[in-house]
Chain A
């Protein structure tokens, strides 16, 4: 009997340990998406400057699937969101996305075989988690945390924390400053100019 019990105990322990120490569906979701991005970047068929457009198109689709743009925009504007009319909000979300694309696309396309490791998942609330990852380059490790929210059973990213700096919070500070003395229209105008000057 004792031996049965021991066997059962071992069985239970093994079952528990068969699950990875971290990583539920949210980690799965980001990890798969990141791997799809890496596959595109490593794709030998998509090498050279001529393939840049094709790569960009593919990455854009993945971005839309991975990020909750609405959540991202609302969180950067916080209460100021309510000062925007629905049309202004639509334009804001669109412009903000373009700003981000222009800023980060080249950085992503520059990718040269850095390693991406996912190692931890922290729960913020029932519907929100933080997925911890790091990019390992030859000279350093860059910690990147994806904050994810569950909506309609799908995990999407609403904030990215790079080296301790939350993007949402960073833009919040900048937008707050503009909106403290300016109107939503002025902010949109700043963004329109930013998108054009690139």
Chain B
């Protein structure tokens, strides 16, 4: 009797599952059809049956161009948060520094990184980057603890141990892959102040370090103090290691900056806005992980929140 029920259940499941799949496929298939029809319509086809359609399309377009813009309140509320502006009282200075950094990149860093690219294969460069990131663990740990993100601090520590032992001292990143899925927690000190509600203050572009603010300058300073290679002496070896790290990480990002500025109308403003948006969302995502703040926040994860480590939180 029991077996009979088991079979019945399986039969039900099969019957139930099949229509569910096809029902789900159907709109997709239609969608595909309409997509390909719309986009790949040959001129002959559109000449044959397209006249009334294109006429209608043209009318529609004119109507659209005449339509005024009306602010949508509620629907956009979720995205309103990203209309973050950052005060920029030092704009002339910042623009000069931006230009300096731009030249530094194109004249010095990029050629160096390109040459380096030729000599060192990509997997090695990725390993070197992993190694330096691994060494910055103290700064991430301190930030996570100060943010009251203890789960994050535990993940970071787990990563540090695993990657030290099984990742050849941090050259490889076995903790991020496989079943562990321990992703690096991008936590820093300026961000920590942000989690506690401290604002940027204003925008400042540092030579070499780039976009920052008085608050985020703490990140630059703190990172230097909490970063073991900062304590290497003599000074020229220290600077050498530092430059090597910069060139290595730049070698993996050649082209990013170029495409950013080629897409921008005013590259200085584009970068300033990207910086403000990035930090604001980063801090919001961090707040949802903090024991102190997560209950007061919107429970739905914001874009860019570390969804990949979702399961670790439950």
Interface residues of chain A, those whose CB is within 8 Å of chain B, are 3, 7, 10-11, 14-15, 18-20, 25, 28-29, 32-33, 36, 61-62, 64-65, 70, 74, 77-79, 81-82, 86, 89-90, 93, 99-100, 102-104, 106-107, 110, 119-120, 122, 124-125, 127-128, 130, 132, 138-140, 143, 145, 147, 154, 159, 161, 163-166, 169-175, 177-178, 190-191, 194, 198
Q: Are B277 and A166 in contact (CB under 8 A)?
A: yes
Q: Can you spell out 6 A-B residue pairs with CB atoms less than 8 angstroms apart?
A: A14-B17, A86-B66, A106-B259, A139-B252, A145-B303, A171-B265
Pick the residue among A64, A107, A154 that contacts B259 (CB under 8 A): A107
Chain B residue with the shortest CB-CB distance to A31: B28
Which among B7-15, B93-101, B102-110, B162-170 touches the partner chain? B7-15
Q: Are A25 and B31 in contact (CB under 8 A)?
A: yes
The contact string, 1 if C-beta is below 8 Å from chain A, for chain B 64-81, is 111011010011101100
Provide the bound-state CA to CA distance between A174 and B85, in Å: 12
Interface residues of chain B, those whose CB is within 8 Å of chain A, are 5, 8-9, 12-13, 16-17, 20-21, 24, 27-28, 31-32, 34-36, 38-40, 62, 64-66, 68-69, 71, 74-76, 78-79, 82-83, 85, 122-123, 125-126, 129, 252, 255, 259, 262-266, 269-270, 272-274, 277-278, 281-282, 300, 303-304, 307
Q: Are B28 and A28 in contact (CB under 8 A)?
A: yes
Provide the bound-state CA to CA distance between A194 and B270, in Å: 15
B interface SS class: helix
Return the 4 tightest CB-CB contacts between A and B, nearest first: A103-B263, A81-B69, A173-B273, A125-B75
Q: Are A124 and B78 in contact (CB under 8 A)?
A: yes
Q: Are B278 and A25 in contact (CB under 8 A)?
A: no
Q: Are A15 and B20 in contact (CB under 8 A)?
A: yes
Provide the bound-state CA to CA distance between A178 and B300, in Å: 35
Q: What residues of chain B lie closer than 8 Å to A194, measured between beta carbons?
A: 265
Chain A residue with the shortest CB-CB distance to B307: A120
Q: Are A74 and B273 in contact (CB under 8 A)?
A: no
Chain B residue with the shortest CB-CB distance to A35: B32
Known: A25-B27, A103-B263. 19 other contacts (CB 8 A): A11-B9, A14-B16, A18-B20, A25-B31, A70-B65, A74-B69, A78-B69, A89-B65, A107-B259, A125-B74, A130-B303, A132-B303, A145-B303, A164-B278, A165-B274, A170-B273, A170-B277, A174-B264, A175-B265
Q: What residues of chain A lie closer than 8 Å to B66, measured between beta carbons?
A: 86
Given A74-B69, A79-B71, A132-B303, A190 and B265 contact (CB-CB distance below 8 Å): yes
Q: Are A28 and B129 in contact (CB under 8 A)?
A: no
Chain B residue with the shortest CB-CB distance to A78: B69
Provide the bound-state CA to CA distance between A106 and B21, in Å: 38
Q: What residues of chain A lie closer than 8 Å to B71, measured between beta carbons?
A: 78-79
Q: Are A18 and B17 in contact (CB under 8 A)?
A: yes
Pick the residue among A19, A102, A122 that contacts B300 (CB under 8 A): A122
Q: What residues of chain A lie closer than 8 Å to B5, measured between beta carbons?
A: 3, 7
Chain B residue with the shortest CB-CB distance to A83: B69
Q: What residues of chain A lie closer than 8 Å to B129, measured between beta carbons?
A: 139
Q: Are B307 and A119 in contact (CB under 8 A)?
A: yes
Pick the residue among B38, B68, B303 that contacts A161 (CB under 8 A): B303
Provide the bound-state CA to CA distance between A145 and B85, in Å: 21
Q: Are A132 and B277 in contact (CB under 8 A)?
A: no
Provide the bound-state CA to CA distance between A77 and B18, in Å: 47
Q: Are A164 and B269 in contact (CB under 8 A)?
A: no
A54: shortest Cβ distance to chain B, in Å? 13
B256: shortest Cβ distance to chain A, in Å? 10
Q: What residues of chain A lie closer than 8 Å to B17, measured between beta carbons?
A: 14-15, 18
Q: What residues of chain B lie closer than 8 Å to A33, measured between beta carbons?
A: 35
B311: shortest Cβ distance to chain A, in Å? 13
Q: Are A11 and B126 in contact (CB under 8 A)?
A: no
Given A89-B65, A169-B277, A178 and B32 contact (CB-CB distance below 8 Å): no
Given A74-B69, A194-B265, A28 and B79 contact (CB-CB distance below 8 Å): no
Q: Are A32 and B28 in contact (CB under 8 A)?
A: yes
From B12, B66, B79, B125, residue with most partner A Cβ within 10 Å: B79
Given A32-B28, A164-B304, A169-B273, A104 and B259 contact (CB-CB distance below 8 Å): yes
Provide the bound-state CA to CA distance between A93 and B273, in Å: 22
Q: Are B83 and A169 in contact (CB under 8 A)?
A: yes
Provide the bound-state CA to CA distance between A74 and B40, in Å: 27
Given A138-B122, A170-B274, A25 and B303 contact (CB-CB distance below 8 Å): no
Q: What residues of chain A lie closer than 8 Å to B16, measured between beta carbons?
A: 11, 14-15, 18
Provide the bound-state CA to CA distance between A103 and B260, in Å: 8
Provide the bound-state CA to CA distance between A147 and B265, in Å: 22
Pick the residue among B68, B75, B265 that contacts A99 (CB under 8 A): B265
Provide the bound-state CA to CA distance between A59 and B192, in Å: 43
Provide the bound-state CA to CA distance between A125 and B263, in Å: 29
